[in-house]
Amino acid sequence: MEEETGEILSALLRQYYAGRSRLPRQILLPCELDDQVPLTRMLSEQAGRRVELITPQRGAKMDLIKLANQNAVEEVTRATTREERQNKLLETLGKMLGLEQAPRRTESYDISNTGADDMVASMVVFENGRPLKRDYRRFKIKDLTGPDDYASMEQVLKRRFQRYLDGDEKFGTLPDLMLIDGGENHVKIARRVLDDFGLDIPAFGMVKDDKHRTRGLVSAAGGEIMLAMHRGVFTFVTSIQDETHRWANDYRRRMQKSRAYSSTLQSVPGVGPATSRALMAHFKTVSAVKEASEEQLAGAKGVSRAAARAVYAHFHPQPEQPSAET
């Protein structure tokens, strides 16, 4: 910022045109350069012909300088305004929630289930107001006999923060804010888990109205913060809630599809649930299982030779031999 405009332009020209053999015959500048003569000589030698550095004062060339300046200002304004808008939104959200600082990293959690065998959870991450998909995580709920959102949420959060304490790089960054899809009781569970792990992370529940639209954020104490008063924050939180819900449901549907494929394999005589899971884990799809050779089937971890023979025979039936005539 302390450099003169001429010094910045000179450095820009040297960097931009360095190593180029095809150069323009004229380069228009908004001001004279202290090293204009040696710079002109360098560019001309590089191009193998005369290259002029011109500082126009009027006419069409001056109009081009004005246009270049205008384009630069608009681009800076566009980038700055976008970043400033996002920063302002996060600052507003932080103030609404009583946070000391704007939440730069937000983690959101949701539970999805259609029965005891389909309980999954999602963890979605937003950083500086944008989805950070490389940090998304999915969890399969374990050791529950039936759907229980509260127990599921507790299990997921314990697993997530235990992985953090264990030094797992995939869970190595803590959030500035946690949003839980659910009401006051969900947040109380999150608060209890955080306290048990000695972590001080603000947590709020994302509650919906009777039409399943985002209504507001609720604390563990039961206080609800309405979002409709600030359109930008409302849209932001809604997008987080929708993305978290989508991520959880997508995982649950994948599991259901995999289970349906697995049940198809269990229809093969001699193939039980364990072998079916082993085949799906190795080959991913039933089609791949069907196309595999007996040797390839037997090579899958957890699949016995007898089971491989049974699966191959099931999907590759031998034509019946005609009976011998007497």
Q: How far apart are CA 273 and CA 7, in angstroms?
A: 73
Res. 251: pLDDT tops 70:
no
Categorize the per-residue pLDDT at 281 as very low, low, confident or very high, splitting at 50, 70 and 90: confident
Q: Of all residues in the chain, what percent carry a pLDDT higher than 70?
A: 90
Average pLDDT over residues 98-118: 84
Ranked by mean pLDDT, which of 2-6, 238-242, 309-313 comes out on top?
Answer: 238-242
Average pLDDT over residues 259-266: 59
Average pLDDT over residues 172-185: 94
Lowest mean pLDDT among 197-211, 233-247, 259-273: 259-273
Structure token pair of residue 94: 């932080």
> What phi and psi, each to the nearest 5 degrees, are found at residue 36?
-65, -40
Average pLDDT over residues 254-278: 68
> What phi and psi, each to the nearest 5 degrees, are found at residue 225?
-110, 115
The pLDDT tens digits for 224-243 are 998 877 888 998 999 999 88
Q: Can you list the pairs that 309-314 forms with residues at least 24 positions away whose Cβ atoms lie under 8 Å? A: 310/268, 310/269, 310/270, 310/271, 311/265, 311/268, 311/271, 311/279, 314/268, 314/269
Average pLDDT over residues 256-284: 71
Q: How far apart are CA 295 and CA 222, in angstroms?
A: 61
